Structure 1
């Protein structure tokens, strides 16, 4: 099982490597601007390589939001994503969040339900 690190601030290269593999996209967001404003983030490391990641954004108050949950394809189906979400949930609670939100695609419903999330009505406007 990988080692889970709280607020590890991975290098841009490490995040980009994981992001490209996990999301099949060439470019990761600029996390150097994102992570310092996050409530928390959790990295999963195997042999000192970043193999999983989740960011906990927040509104500065009681609402936190899971973003960018990902695991390297070679490391999937080992419970890493579940552990990332559990750690993120624990830390958000410890740091004062009262609500933890997550948006996800329909094929991830059973995963997030198993992590304790319940459906809620929400609204969405696509801006771009």
Structure 2
């Protein structure tokens, strides 16, 4: 398995729709992913295996020094092989190159081993309001 990581890589909305539905266990919903990330994000990382999209992460930002990971997802067939950590590493590298000082990720407790142990995030306190 050779994974190619591409910053601001081309993708079809249908590819991310399918990956997102599988990864977040919800029905397939069509979204306008490409236009959304082009308008609102510092960038995104696509992971491909033999041309197929197997991972994706969106890197949103505040226009200054804070970048935020959103929608980090890896195809079930590729989980546990370091693809997610590779996505995050490329996202961090590119955010650093854009002179961001901080990369944030919100996650639930079951994802702590991934974000803290595999990706090197430091746990912090945060707050959330359901809207």
Q: What TM-score comes out, normalization by structure 1 length? A: 0.92
Tell me by how many angstroms 1:57 deviates. 0.2
**Counterpart contact for 1:20–1:28, Cα < 8 Å:** no
Q: What TM-score comes out, normalization by structure 2 length? A: 0.90
Q: Deviations over 1:2-54 (max 9, x none)?
A: 11111013111111121122222222543133211211100000111100001
Equivalent residue number for residue 95 of structure 2: 92
Equivalent residue number for residue 29 of structure 2: 27
Equivalent residue number for residue 71 of structure 2: 68
Gaps of at least 5 residues in structure 2 are: none
Q: Following TM superposition, where does structure 1 have runs of at least 4 consecutive aligned residues deviating by more than 3 angstroms?
A: none
Tell me by how many angstroms 1:71 deviates. 0.4
Equivalent residue number for residue 42 of structure 2: 39
SS in structure 1 opposite 2:11? coil
Q: Write the distance in 2 (CA, Å) between the matches of 1:44 and 1:59.
A: 24
Q: Write the distance in 2 (CA, Å) between the matches of 1:32 and 1:80.
A: 21
* 1:83 is the counterpart of 2:95: no
Equivalent residue number for residue 8 of structure 1: 9
Q: Write the distance in 2 (CA, Å) between the matches of 1:111 and 1:32.
A: 26
Alpha-carbon RMSD: 1.3
